């Protein structure tokens, strides 16, 4: 590149206590370094904000290294190659990466990117239905919970990126699907737009009576994105030999002290339940099958992708904070440039 390129990025100023605030983040303009051999420069078009990022803002080891205070955040992004020193990628190629987000430009080895095409639009779908959230739903539901036709599947966070896909995949598997969401509109939306059999607004009706009302025969599979009261209610509603897949616990992510666990956890014994925690990054070998299946279902209209788009890198912290509070319908993405 002839002149020095500069770009904006979002840095972590302080580790949030409880719900993050805008003051925990700052925008900085930094010089974009020259690519070394085998590296490319990517200009981001979209970036992802995801619940798991909240955990990375805390100190201490987790399954992903914590973000560093004073440095840029990172996460999934979709962009286009601006300069290349690798034979694997050419200028103009569209790529998705797992760590390129929260900034305008990203420089890394070409092997950190995967080329995508415009065959499916919008490109941000690679951050949602065809990206990590979609794979999370696919692996957690189909590989781990293994729902059978006729079974009842309950999913919390049903209007979110993962939950919405879980419900649609469960419908394809022939299940009855019930979801919880954080507003009447969201609950209605997953039924009307995504084909759930029923849904409830957990802010109006606690999960326990809602499940008694909507799943009087009990629940075979619970896909947990929320934890807390939802998990306790699901334990009470589970049928014998039910399977709980523990994907997330968003109700706990902003807690400043750990909340008590479900009082009825001993039910796992008498009901012979399985609770299985998982992380999508252990299952990347399923990416091919996932893309083939979900790509086909998208094309056939059997799966719908929904997203909430926020414009501009400067709005990324607000988008992230809003997502943690349920401000999104479908995948929350930030459109850059």
Residue from 264, 289, 295, 318 in contact with a second copy (CB under 8 A): 264
Judged by DSSP in three states, 280 sits in helix
Shortest distance, CB of residue 162 to a second copy, whole angstroms? 12
- Within a 10 A sphere around the Cβ of 255, how many other Cβ atoms? 13
Contacts of 152 (CB under 8 A, 6+ apart): 175, 176, 177, 178, 215, 217, 218, 219, 220, 221, 239
262 sits near a second copy (criterion: CB under 8 A): yes
Shortest distance, CB of residue 244 to a second copy, whole angstroms? 9
266 sits near a second copy (criterion: CB under 8 A): yes
271 sits near a second copy (criterion: CB under 8 A): yes
Q: Answer yes or no: are the C-beta atoms of 192 and 164 closer than 8 Å.
A: no
Shortest distance, CB of residue 52 to a second copy, whole angstroms? 9
Q: Tell me the site size for a second copy, rule CB under 8 A.
A: 35
- β-pair type (25-31, 6-12): antiparallel
128 sits near a second copy (criterion: CB under 8 A): no
Backbone angles phi, psi at 35, to 5 degrees: -70, 135
Sign of CA dihedral 72, 123, 138, 234: positive
Shortest distance, CB of residue 241 to a second copy, whole angstroms? 9
- Within a 10 A sphere around the Cβ of 224, how many other Cβ atoms? 25
207 sits near a second copy (criterion: CB under 8 A): no
157 sits near a second copy (criterion: CB under 8 A): no
Shortest distance, CB of residue 235 to a second copy, whole angstroms? 9
239 sits near a second copy (criterion: CB under 8 A): no
Q: What is the 3-state secondary structure (H, E, C) of 29-46?
A: EEECCCCCCCEEEEEEEE
Residue from 263, 284, 325, 337 in contact with a second copy (CB under 8 A): 263
Shortest distance, CB of residue 201 to a second copy, whole angstroms? 24
Residue from 273, 329, 333, 334 in contact with a second copy (CB under 8 A): 273
Q: Answer yes or no: are the C-beta atoms of 152 and 217 closer than 8 Å.
A: yes
31 sits near a second copy (criterion: CB under 8 A): no
The whole-angstrom separation of Cα 66 and Cα 54 is 10
The whole-angstrom separation of Cα 244 and Cα 144 is 9
276 sits near a second copy (criterion: CB under 8 A): yes
Q: Answer yes or no: are the C-beta atoms of 166 and 184 closer than 8 Å.
A: no
Whether omega for the bond prior to residue 278 falls within 30 degrees of 0, making it cis, is no
62 sits near a second copy (criterion: CB under 8 A): yes
269 sits near a second copy (criterion: CB under 8 A): yes
Residue from 231, 234, 237, 298 in contact with a second copy (CB under 8 A): 231
Q: Which residues bind a second copy (CB under 8 A)?
A: 55, 62-63, 227, 231-232, 240, 246-249, 252, 258-279, 282
């Amino acid at each position: 590149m002839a002149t020095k390129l500069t770009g904006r990025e979002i840095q972590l100023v302080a580790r949030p206590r409880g719900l993050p605030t805008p003051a925990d983040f700052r925008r900085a303009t930094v010089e974009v370094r020259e690519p070394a051999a085998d590296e490319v420069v990517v200009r981001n078009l979209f970036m992802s904000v995801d619940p798991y990022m909240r955990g990375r803002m805390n100190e201490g080891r987790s399954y992903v290294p914590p973000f560093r205070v004073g440095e840029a955040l990172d996460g999934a992004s979709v962009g286009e190659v601006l300069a290349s020193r690798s034979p694997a990628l050419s200028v103009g190629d569209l790529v998705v990466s797992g760590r390129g987000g929260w900034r305008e430009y990203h420089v890394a080895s070409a092997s950190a990117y995967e080329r995508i095409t415009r065959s499916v639009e919008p490109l941000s779908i690679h951050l949602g239905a065809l990206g990590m959230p979609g794979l999370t739903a696919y692996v957690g539901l189909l590989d781990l919970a293994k729902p059978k036709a006729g079974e009842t599947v309950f999913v919390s966070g049903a209007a979110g990126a993962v939950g919405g896909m879980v419900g649609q995949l469960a419908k394809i598997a022939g299940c009855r699907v019930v979801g919880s969401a954080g507003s009447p509109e969201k609950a209605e939306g997953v039924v009307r737009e995504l084909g759930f059999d029923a849904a409830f607004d957990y802010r109006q009706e606690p999960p326990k009576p809602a499940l008694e009302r909507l799943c009087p025969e009990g629940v075979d599979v619970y896909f947990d994105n929320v934890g807390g009261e939802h998990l306790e209610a699901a334990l009470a509603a589970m049928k014998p030999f039910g399977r709980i897949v523990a994907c997330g616990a968003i109700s706990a992510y902003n807690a400043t002290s750990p909340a008590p666990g479900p009082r009825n956890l001993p039910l796992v014994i008498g009901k012979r339940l399985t609770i299985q925690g998982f992380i999508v990054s252990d299952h990347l070998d399923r990416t091919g099958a996932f893309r083939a299946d979900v790509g086909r279902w998208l094309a056939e209209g059997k799966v719908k992708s929904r997203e909430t788009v926020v414009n501009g890198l400067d709005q990324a912290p607000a988008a992230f904070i809003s997502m943690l509070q349920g401000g999104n319908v479908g995948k929350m993405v930030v459109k850059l440039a």
